[in-house]
Structure 1
Amino acid sequence: MSLLVSLTGGIPDMASVLLLLLLAACLQAGNPAGSNREYLYGFDQQTHISGVQGDSIEIPFSFYFPWKLAKDPQMRILWRWKHFHGEFIYNSSSGFIHEHFKNRLILNWTQPQASGVLRILDLKEKDQTVYFCRVHLKTKKCTESFQSINGTQLFITPAVRTITKSPSIVTSAVTMAGLEDIEGQRNPSLVSLGATIGVVLATAVLITPVYVMLIFLRWKKR
């Protein structure tokens, strides 16, 4: 920042210069070079994220602040949905989970970390909305709390289902087709087998008396 100030006025002008320099230093301290952060404290969340219905997604978050934490910062993470002042769906200190998300929310975060991940399991169509993270913490001077301003918009994509025939169904269909063929016409192999058995039985009936007679004659000669 360049300052063009006339010093002809003496001491009052010098006081103005010092005041402007002090203001510039404060601005640089609050917004370091290369930083896009507008405030001294706040959240960094993705503007939007997408998931497939029935799957799970993760919403990462991180926060920053200028204060020094107390020895026991008593930090707790909360989540809201739908809008900035919407219902709370999660509270890390009490273990509260909104009825709509029962057994479907997992917070991967440990005090005093300034970042973490909220995981939503078994995504449903009604989960498509905006999610805001909020933090409460204890500093050396007082207790502070702040929340993400824009939150993260979650988009849900319907799951694509593919229909496949079960092997058991295919096997059953083939078997039934075979049975229908057998009912419609006789199996040639079965007919041939029946004829062969008939011939064998007839031959046995004719030959048996002859063998009996031969055995009787031989016994009589002896």
Structure 2
Amino acid sequence: MARLLLLLLSASYLHTGNSAGYQKKKDFGVDQPDVLSGVQGGSIEIPFSFYFPWKLAKDPQMSIAWRWKHFHGEFIYNSTRPFLHEHFKGRLIMIWTQGQTSGVLRILNLKDNDQTTYFCRVILQTTEGMNSLQSISGTNLIIHALNTTMGSPSIIPSAVPTAGLEDKRDQRNPSLLSLGAMVGMVLAKVVVIIPLYGWMIFLWWKQRPAA
């Protein structure tokens, strides 16, 4: 009986310990897609959204910024200053309106060295003061090379002459046909003329006066 009570107490202790060790999900953060892919020369859109438990101030003064390469990487965009990294001059468009909790970062004319990870950072004024939140894993952008070489149709060397021979295999040379026809006509005339001349000579010989 004492052993059974000990086992029950141990199980109860372990269950309590597991519950106490469970970490509750944060109630604030920034959501982004884990992976996106684009093609060189094309464009890509990285959507983002954020959530928080705090009450916003009357003038929250929300600010959106973007880092690249790693979590503490260099800033490439800031809506407050405003600031735009030299690498993205004329290629970066931020689609977001003050007060909204979602938006899109659009990158134009993608280059091979645009391939990296991008992190959205949000700064806002709440009744508790200034708070900031940033995506933990960011969005890994993969750039694919655009193959502009048009593939020429493959030709099997033996197929080309074979196709030509198939159409002319049983045909004869037209010049040879003409020559054969002419020879045939001449022979036909000879066959007809020789007996005719022979008959005429025979008649002439029969009708000649006796000596």
TM-score w.r.t. the length of structure 1 is: 0.57
1:66 counterpart = 2:57:
no
* Inter-partner Cα distance in structure 1 for 2:52 and 2:127: 13
1:160 counterpart = 2:139:
no
| Larger RCO (CA within 8 A; separation ≥ 6) | 2
- Which residue does 2:65 correspond to in 1? 78
- Which residue does 2:118 correspond to in 1? 131
* Inter-partner Cα distance in structure 2 for 1:39 and 1:107: 27
Deviation by residue 1:3-30 (Cα, 9 ceiling, x = unmatched): xxxxxxxxxxxxxxxxx9xx99xx9xx9
The runs of at least 4 consecutive aligned structure 1 residues that moved more than 6 Å come to none
Deviation by residue 1:77-101 (Cα, 9 ceiling, x = unmatched): 0000000000000001112110100
Pick aligned residue for 2:106 from 114, 119, 128 = 119
Deviation for aligned residue 1:138: 0.2
Q: Which has the larger radius of gyration?
A: 2
Question: What one-letter code is carried by the residue in structure 2 that aligns with 1:87?
Answer: E
- Which residue does 2:95 correspond to in 1? 108
Question: What one-letter code is carried by the residue in structure 2 that aligns with 1:103?
Answer: G
Deviation by residue 1:154-198 (Cα, 9 ceiling, x = unmatched): 00000120459xxxxxxxxxxxxxxxxxxxxxxxxxxxxxxxxxx
> Does the residue aligned with 2:71 lie in a helix, a strand or coil?
coil
Deviation for aligned residue 1:140: 1.1
- Which residue does 1:204 correspond to in 2? none
Pick aligned residue for 2:77 from 71, 90, 102 = 90
**Structure 2 portions without partners, runs of 5+:** 1-15, 152-211
* Inter-partner Cα distance in structure 1 for 2:147 and 2:31: 32
The alignment-based identity, stated in percent, is 64
> Does the residue aligned with 2:59 lie in a helix, a strand or coil?
coil
* Inter-partner Cα distance in structure 2 for 1:95 and 1:101: 14
* Inter-partner Cα distance in structure 2 for 1:70 and 1:114: 15
CA RMSD of superposed structures (Å): 2.2
1:51 counterpart = 2:44:
no
- Provide the aligned length of Structure 1 versus Structure 2: 133
Pick aligned residue for 2:133 from 146, 162, 170 = 146
Question: What one-letter code is carried by the residue in structure 2 that aligns with 1:45?
Answer: Q
Deviation for aligned residue 1:145: 0.6
**Structure 1 portions without partners, runs of 5+:** 1-19, 32-37, 165-222
* Inter-partner Cα distance in structure 1 for 2:140 and 2:150: 32
TM-score w.r.t. the length of structure 2 is: 0.60
Deviation for aligned residue 1:57: 0.3
* Inter-partner Cα distance in structure 2 for 1:58 and 1:114: 16
* Inter-partner Cα distance in structure 2 for 1:50 and 1:95: 27
Deviation for aligned residue 1:102: 0.5
> Does the residue aligned with 2:136 lie in a helix, a strand or coil?
coil
* Inter-partner Cα distance in structure 2 for 1:95 and 1:127: 21
Question: What one-letter code is carried by the residue in structure 1 that aligns with 2:26?
Answer: Y
